Amino acid sequence: MSYELYYWPGIQGRGEFVRLALEEAGAAYIDIARMPPKKGMGMSAMMPFMEGRKIEHPMFAPPFLKHGKILVGQTANILHYLGPRLGLAPKDEAGRLWAHQLQLTIADLVSEVHETHHPLATNLYYEDQKAAAVKRSADFRKSRIPKFLGYFEQVLKTNPKRGQYMVGARLSYVDLSIFQIIEGLRYAFPRTMRRQEKDYQGLVELRDSIAERPHIAAYLQSERRIPFNEDGIFRHYPELDKGK
Amino acid sequence: MSYELYYWPGIQGRGEFVRLALEEAGAAYIDIARMPPKKGMGMSAMMPFMEGRKIEHPMFAPPFLKHGKILVGQTANILHYLGPRLGLAPKDEAGRLWAHQLQLTIADLVSEVHETHHPLATNLYYEDQKAAAVKRSADFRKSRIPKFLGYFEQVLKTNPKRGQYMVGARLSYVDLSIFQIIEGLRYAFPRTMRRQEKDYQGLVELRDSIAERPHIAAYLQSERRIPFNEDGIFRHYPELDKGK
């Protein structure tokens, strides 16, 4: 039974954390909103889950995943569901909770990345909140990147299974998400990352090892990987990457 | 085996969502950071979980919960763990995922509430970002409260078990969190809520029914319930509740 992923078609966004897990596992999935509308897919197949007054479990926002009768939303929750099924999470409760906790902290970081370019309102254009974005980004670069990445680096180092993966001795969806975080921060804040990366050497090595995994390497070369762009969460606006 | 809750001692904050679940269930728990330091508790018992270099699973931020050997962080994850144990969540996987998804959407709302008074930097005083906070709050009142509360109202209405609870036919931690959201928004944005509440009548009735539950009513009267204040997430700054 193949997985149906529902997410905005033009961006990596939060959907990308789910795509990376499905791709690594070689799972059969359909990226519904990116498929042609004439096959009953595309955006018009996604919106009823959010706007429909008749569905039992309305979705607040994409991404969400349909798998048989199961419909699950919220990125970290989707990964929590998929983890054991794709062999990308520990099977015991304590291990699953820990992986999920880390993923939720990654989600917090992702939200803060979005705030760097939209500190006043999601509904306003970037151009109309640029001055505030410059201030927010300065704090993000100086305080928040070190706080989050410093924490994840510490988690990697204190993992009693020693340094290769974030959780236990095997690859999990958390490692794939760390890859995406490093990629995204490098895209959005290249200058800052060049300065700071020496402090997160473990995470950078983890990123490199993920990029070399055969399924991930093939995915990154494929058309399924949407390039980063200025409609997504990680956006490159040079003025937000300037200064100390 | 009693639960140990770790959270900042002077505010309701995110810890309150956990407290409400423990209180409703009549569970034995210790609010560690609020206990006297001389008993090996207090703040000095909390900080090592966050700063310690020796612990296996360092915590990014409170709240976190210790239960025997299990240590779990991130508010929604704590409730996901507690739910079935306290009889405050469905037992089947689909029901648990749905409750957790709603809780994660509540967490997103809570984060946006925090952004209303700290849109530029968590590390700056409110007074130093008041102009930006006024703008952010205007959008929050006009667009975000209706989006979130409208969604939760829809969930309540489309629940096939008909309207009394958010998830299925029984009380869950999600209902307790909706109570806290309504209380918090009323505290922070009283003027806005007086205008808008007619649109969320189901949620308001749910709030009232929760307030009357014996354990919750007793808790709200007790000293264990910290009053709302301007160090917490829901803060009342009149200038943020003004205008359309």
Contacts of range B234-237, beta carbons closer than 8 Å, 24 or more positions apart: B234/B12, B234/B113, B234/B183, B234/B184, B234/B185, B234/B187, B234/B188, B235/B117, B235/B126, B235/B188, B236/B187, B236/B188, B236/B190, B237/B117, B237/B126, B237/B133, B237/B188
Instruction: Identify the burial level of B175 via C-beta atoms within 10 angstroms of its C-beta, where 0-12 means exposed, 13-18 middle and 19 or more buried.
Output: buried
Give the pLDDT confidence of A27-44 residue by residue, as tens digits.
999 999 999 988 889 999
Q: How far is CA A128 from CA A114, A131, A132, A134, B51, in A?
A: 15, 8, 9, 12, 39
When scoring A57, A79, A92, A141 by the number of chain B Cβ atoms within 10 A, the one with the most, hence best to mutate, is A57
Is B227's Cβ below 8 Å from some Cβ in A? Answer: no
Superfamily of structural domain A3-86: Glutaredoxin (3.40.30.10)
- Asked whether the beta carbons of A42 and B58 are under 8 A apart, the reply is no
The whole-number average pLDDT for the span A102-119 is 98
Q: Which residue does chain A place closest to B59, by CA atoms?
A: A151
Give the pLDDT confidence of A113-163 residue by residue, as tens digits.
999 999 999 999 999 999 999 999 999 999 999 999 999 999 999 998 876
pLDDT-derived band at A244 (thresholds 50, 70, 90) equals: low
Pick from A70, A101, A122: CB nearest B74:
A101
CA end-to-end span of chain A, whole Å?
Answer: 51
Give the pLDDT confidence of A45-58 residue by residue, as tens digits.
999 999 867 788 99
- Classify domain B93-212+233-241 by CATH architecture: Up-down Bundle (1.20)
Apex A82 CA angle, A76 and A84, nearest 5? 115
Distance from the Cα of A48 to chain B's closest Cα (Å) equals 14
Q: How far is CA A215 from CA A63, A144, A225, in A?
A: 22, 32, 12
Apex B150 CA angle, B195 and B144, nearest 5? 75
The whole-number average pLDDT for the span A85-100 is 96
Is A57's Cβ below 8 Å from some Cβ in B? Answer: yes
Which run of H or E residues covers position A37?
A: none
- Alpha-carbon span B131 to B126, nearest angstrom: 10
Write the ipTM.
0.97
Specify whether the backbone of B161 is left (phi greater than 0), alpha (psi in -120 to 50) or beta.
alpha
- Asked whether the beta carbons of A235 and A188 are under 8 A apart, the reply is yes
Question: What is the reported pTM?
Answer: 0.98
Walk along chain B (244 residues) and give the pLDDT tens digit of each residue. Answer: 899 999 999 999 999 999 999 999 999 999 999 999 888 899 999 999 998 677 889 999 999 999 999 999 999 999 999 999 999 999 999 999 999 999 999 999 999 999 999 999 999 999 999 999 999 999 999 999 999 999 999 999 999 887 699 999 999 999 999 999 999 999 999 999 999 999 999 999 999 999 999 999 999 999 999 999 999 999 999 999 997 6
Give the pLDDT confidence of A203-242 residue by residue, as tens digits.
999 999 999 999 999 999 999 999 999 999 999 999 999 9
- Classify domain A93-213+236-240 by CATH architecture: Up-down Bundle (1.20)
**Per-domain boundaries in chain B:** 3-86, 93-212+233-241
Chain A segment 71-100 residues within 8 A of B by beta carbon are 72-74, 76-77, 80-81, 93-94, 97-98, 100
On chain A, the residues whose CB falls within 8 A of the CB of B100 are: 74, 77, 80
Mean pLDDT, chain A, whole residue set: 96
Whole-number pLDDT of residue A243: 76
- The one-character DSSP state at A159 is -
Distance from the Cα of A151 to chain B's closest Cα (Å) equals 7
When scoring B120, B143, B240 by the number of chain A Cβ atoms within 10 A, the one with the most, hence best to mutate, is B120
Neighbouring-strand partners of residue B3: B29
The type of residue at B186 is R
Whole-number pLDDT of residue B244: 66
- Asked whether the beta carbons of A151 and B60 are under 8 A apart, the reply is yes
Q: Among candidates B28, B38, B25, which has minimal Cα distance to B5?
A: B28
Whole-number pLDDT of residue A163: 67
On chain B, the residues whose CB falls within 8 A of the CB of A98 are: 57, 72
Tell whether the model's pLDDT for residue A109 goes beyond 80: yes
Pick from B58, B80, B81: CB nearest A155:
B58
Chain A segment 201-220 residues within 8 A of B by beta carbon are none
- Alpha-carbon span B201 to A197, nearest angstrom: 51
When scoring B50, B54, B77, B143 by the number of chain A Cβ atoms within 10 A, the one with the most, hence best to mutate, is B77
- Asked whether the beta carbons of B106 and B174 are under 8 A apart, the reply is yes
